[in-house]
Copies of this chain bind each other. A is one copy, B any other.
Amino acid sequence: MKILVDAMGGDNAPLCVLQGVSQAAAEFGDGMELVLLGEEKAIRDCAKENKIDLAPFEILNCTETIDMHDDPVKAVRHKKDSSLVKGLTMLKNGEADAFVSAGSTGALHVGTSLIVRTVKGVKRPALATPMPGAKQNFLLLDCGANVECRPEMLNAFGTMGSVYAEKVMGRETPKVALVNNGAEDTKGTPTYREAHKLLKANPCIHFAGNIEPRYIMDGDVDVVVCDGFVGNVVLKLTEGVAKTLLGMLKKIFLQNLITKLSYLGIKGGLGELKRMMDSEEVGGAPLLGAAKPVIKAHGSSHAKGIKNAIRQAKLCVANDLCGTMEKALAEVAAQKEEADA
């Protein structure tokens, strides 16, 4: 299995990418070939400076880079020798099995749609992020790639999320829920009401109905579906609230000697809580619906985030995620045709 890694993507590239790739190779590198794409000189200089051994990895030189300020469509069309476009093109041509990048979400989304293409029945892939829940992690999609969604797209997200939960997260009969402002079928906008109907009739999923925002983090369901605007709110607000509360807690512990001693008493448990809320622990977000596995790592990923994104890519390839996805979506389409006939 050959996995391509964008060495130039993300706030901490290339250093954290190189560290992450090294850790991935050491921890679960068996049967996996890792290829770094980027400015070769910058990669080699960085590795040398930080004593990272690049011997196990192939390096493919790229002369261009796409950054956050680039217009996604223009960048993908014109920067042909960027790590992102080169990597996605190799994936498309069957020269590799998966692509991992912490670069621009917009460019990765557009590039995946235009170059790698999608499986039948999907127009635009969805960004799916594993999130921490009180009982267990769950998958949230779409997390911001598609800010506007038709009901059919939300229904497809349900199918795709369910397949991913089963094949990569190892859930036996994944429960799928739709974000909404009330539990009743009649709640929400016309789009959400129609999506509710479609999801309820979807033969490929176990639909648990609407989920109200205050229960999302309980982790009672495996897949949480919404449009990209709402998904971005859910993902980033959860991060923000957790960060604010843990920050306030820290201030409480720093107040005086007694509170400092108290901190020592629960240091271990608190560390666990922080790890749980750490977006890098679960790794990257797969672009579900792409014809080949493409994984987006968090833009601010450190080594751990990159390593775990590579782990996800490996699982996607090993479990033929894209093939299974295509089959599941075909089944939904056939059922719809039957109902329409």
Interface segment among A158-166, A167-175, A236-244: the answer is A236-244
Given known A-B contacts A181-B232, A230-B229, A230-B230, A253 and B266 have beta carbons under 8 A apart: yes
**Would B189 and A213 count as touching, CB distance under 8 A?**
no
**Would B244 and A218 count as touching, CB distance under 8 A?**
yes
The answer to the question of A52 belonging to the interface, with a C-beta cut-off of 8 Å to chain B, is no
**Would A228 and B181 count as touching, CB distance under 8 A?**
yes
CA distance A203 to B212 in the complex (A): 36
**Would A214 and B229 count as touching, CB distance under 8 A?**
no
Q: Tell me the nearest residue of chain B to A69, going by C-beta.
A: B184
The answer to the question of A293 belonging to the interface, with a C-beta cut-off of 8 Å to chain B, is no
Interface size in chain A (residues, C-beta < 8 A): 56
CA distance A237 to B240 in the complex (A): 11
Given known A-B contacts A217-B241, A237-B213, A262 and B273 have beta carbons under 8 A apart: no
Can you give 25 contacting A-B residue pairs, CB < 8 Å? A147-B189, A148-B190, A179-B233, A181-B228, A213-B232, A213-B235, A214-B237, A214-B243, A216-B240, A217-B237, A218-B244, A229-B230, A230-B233, A233-B234, A237-B238, A237-B241, A242-B245, A245-B245, A245-B277, A251-B269, A252-B272, A258-B265, A259-B265, A261-B262, A262-B263
